[in-house]
Structure 1
């Protein structure tokens, strides 16, 4: 009996310890992502007070072009999270700086190849049928977004690198400071210098690069002495395996991030498209704010699983997954109830149009279930990233989202009287299918085997810290 009590006490202690480790990663990640999203919203607000056409152009670029690029770069940078997380767990700290530099190289080339999407923004928006005035405004704003998206190349990878070694509180503080300076900076450029849209975009790029430069100072200034050993040509070695992992990571996360954006596109073909698009956009804004919390748990899942796999502790991986799911699902249930209870009241925070508010009220049940599922599938995706299983999840996402969810939503939306609710119902079914499938895969996964695979992966990329004669700077 005493042994049983001792085991229960030991289990409670391990759960509490794991819960603390999860929040050590998740909380700064949530804070930084909320502020990053808030920065874009502030810019949208300033541009919205300039003109309706420019607001539509900005919304078009942010929703389609920037989301597209962000999805690719975020996904490809998550390969850094896998490798750095496992290296940190295995005590191969010096390899983390090399993985970071490899990510910069891959992401820089990728974004440069995709740059024509921004350069020919006007032509692309005209091609998809946008009004000429909105297409021109969107094309103009696309050019101003170029320096902003280049900050993603460095910033996203740095965040993965710092998170993997549990140093992401600095990201939260810097993100908060970035947001704090972004508001007066936007006011100064837009109103004081009377620069209009150009001023708002200069403020956005300036604050985003402030964050990246601050992170550079933190890394190069000696606050990561064990993981940053200076720039090295070793970063150009073994790029192909990292590229493969980056591509599978990119595909996996892109398929998730773009999924709900399809709602807005399909809504444009409804009978009352203006009301449908407005209602969907507001619902997606609410969804996006809550999803920032889910992304925090995705990060925590990735870091915790990668760290424990690197340490070779399969038992700790299993415990971490259970605690992560339990915590995230509890938060999901809270927001599920909140969306159901508030319903129409949420709509009036964003609009005074009674018809839009009524549509949002009708959609509140679907929004609630989407928020509820946010408490599960991002954690499972984070577990997959931590274990390096991105290619498997990419296939699951492709089938569940784009072969099942979107076609079913289109059928229910256009061939029944459900319309917008039918579209969303089909999309939710796709997410539910993905969640169940990933849950089954994780349940059936042999974590001892994953420990072996992580060890093999790290061994394949490993370079001894004293075997890098090519190092060219800051060797310490």
Structure 2
């Protein structure tokens, strides 16, 4: 008897034409897929928003200490943390591909091994990247940031090193849980962790007057409490099929795992470093403190809204990897279409909200009139960026689910670094358009990238992707159980 997903794949091959019955079937299948998507995306959105809001709360609190303090933390967040955290998140994203496809292939016993491999690789990566935190001040001065901002940012960087090592643990755990759709516990931990962080931040920054040190201490404690709770959850016997204890198998096939991890890291880092480049370019303008603060206000808000659409990144990645791992390419393609339409609708809603409140949203971060005025001028640019950001995470989720990270990375290089950044530099400095010109260049690169990825995704050969998923599981997961129907019989 065919599964619901297989029935959906067969139904999608039936010519619709004017057949009302076929249209009703498509509507039913769309609703069914939407429910599956939201079961993953809903908790993932709450988790992403809660975890990002830890930094969001810190920036908002520090912003009321002074202009230099806000600029210092903003530079750390968008330059140093974006650089190293992008690599860490990318190294963990390989787990998303492998665990998702292992679940689809029914190889639950390999999930714990994959998680341990990811911990090993992420831990080694964290150690190798720690010098960026230790020597943040000279690095920022080398990047032509002002001395006052660089020195204060360097102190803050050294204080938050514990958070950096927490990322090496938490990112792989998230992928492990998401692939099995066990996300509600993680969501609850993240929401409670955020509430605890708000309390700690208020106590240490506002009441005890510890300034940046207090903000760093609050973040360190909040992140590590979440990590400890989630590790206990994973290894505490709640996953008897996917966690069978620590194994020496974790040290085998590391080279192939590292290769896929690096591809994931490159894809995501090129995206995150694009925003880093914008902050650095703004820092080269005259009177950089106000300019950096204004751009940081908009970027923090843009990144916060991205946490919502990143829920669809996680959902579509799980759905695509599960369906490809199970040899159902048509069902994978259908999941992509539903996720794109849903995320796009949410992006339009957020863009409208920004346009309506463009003179008010900067007040969330600063009381300085100059910062509020400059940030308000970027309202239209921010709305356009949020709209595009509602599409890109879904396309990235497709790439991760299918294991095509390196291909997307090459597209990012062309659109962002060969085209977008040079255009922004010319508009911002040559034509004296300052912040608006630099952000316009970023938008041009993002529009080009979104267009290319959308075309590539919709024209992809999903049958070939399913065959590749089966080969990957045979290589890293061992024996794959025979399917009820041959994969090659499914046109893709």
2:413 equivalent to 1:398: yes
Task: Single out whichever of 323-332 and 57-66 deviates more from structure 2.
Answer: 57-66
Cα deviation for residue 146 of structure 1 reads 1.5
Aligned partner of 1:12 among 19, 24, 27:
27
| Correspondence for 1:110 | 125
Aligned partner of 1:200 among 215, 239, 243:
215
Cα deviation for residue 374 of structure 1 reads 1.2
- In the TM superposition, 1:238-253 aligns within 5 A as 238-253=253-268
Aligned residue for 1:270, secondary structure, equals coil
Aligned partner of 2:47 among 17, 32, 36:
32
| Correspondence for 1:222 | 237
The whole-number CA distance in structure 2 between the counterparts of 1:427 and 1:134 is 24
Cα deviation for residue 5 of structure 1 reads 3.5
1:268 to 1:51, Cα distance in 2 relative to 1, 3 A:
closer
The whole-number CA distance in structure 2 between the counterparts of 1:61 and 1:114 is 14
Cα deviation for residue 170 of structure 1 reads 1.2
> Which residues of structure 1 form unaligned runs of 5+?
466-476
Task: Single out whichever of 325-334 and 344-353 deviates more from structure 2.
Answer: 344-353
Aligned length: 465
Aligned partner of 1:386 among 401, 413, 416:
401
Residues 12-52 of structure 1: CA deviation (Å, up to 9, x unaligned): 22111110111111111111111111112333455556666
Aligned residue for 1:14, secondary structure, equals helix
The whole-number CA distance in structure 2 between the counterparts of 1:56 and 1:347 is 14
| Correspondence for 2:318 | 303
- TM-score normalised per structure 2: 0.89
2:437 equivalent to 1:422: yes
- In the TM superposition, 1:395-474 aligns within 5 A as 395-463=410-478
Aligned partner of 2:385 among 350, 370, 381:
370
2:330 equivalent to 1:315: yes
Cα deviation for residue 339 of structure 1 reads 2.1
Residues 190-216 of structure 1: CA deviation (Å, up to 9, x unaligned): 567665544432322121111111111
Cα deviation for residue 245 of structure 1 reads 0.5
| Correspondence for 2:141 | 126
> Which residues of structure 2 form unaligned runs of 5+?
1-15, 481-492
- In the TM superposition, 1:324-339 aligns within 5 A as 324-339=339-354
Residues 389-441 of structure 1: CA deviation (Å, up to 9, x unaligned): 00100000111011111111111222225332222222111111111111121
Aligned partner of 1:146 among 161, 165, 172:
161
Aligned residue for 2:237, secondary structure, equals helix
The whole-number CA distance in structure 2 between the counterparts of 1:462 and 1:56 is 47
CA RMSD across the alignment: 2.4
1:91 to 1:433, Cα distance in 2 relative to 1, 3 A:
same
Contact map agreement 2:427 2:438 (CA 8 A) in 1: yes
The whole-number CA distance in structure 2 between the counterparts of 1:47 and 1:450 is 47
| Correspondence for 1:262 | 277
1:412 to 1:190, Cα distance in 2 relative to 1, 3 A:
closer
Cα deviation for residue 178 of structure 1 reads 0.7
Cα deviation for residue 293 of structure 1 reads 1.0
Cα deviation for residue 348 of structure 1 reads 3.9
Task: Single out whichever of 210-219 and 348-357 deviates more from structure 2.
Answer: 348-357
Cα deviation for residue 100 of structure 1 reads 0.6
The whole-number CA distance in structure 1 between the counterparts of 2:344 and 2:66 is 41
The whole-number CA distance in structure 2 between the counterparts of 1:147 and 1:30 is 25
Cα deviation for residue 249 of structure 1 reads 0.3
Task: Single out whichever of 97-106 and 334-343 deviates more from structure 2.
Answer: 334-343
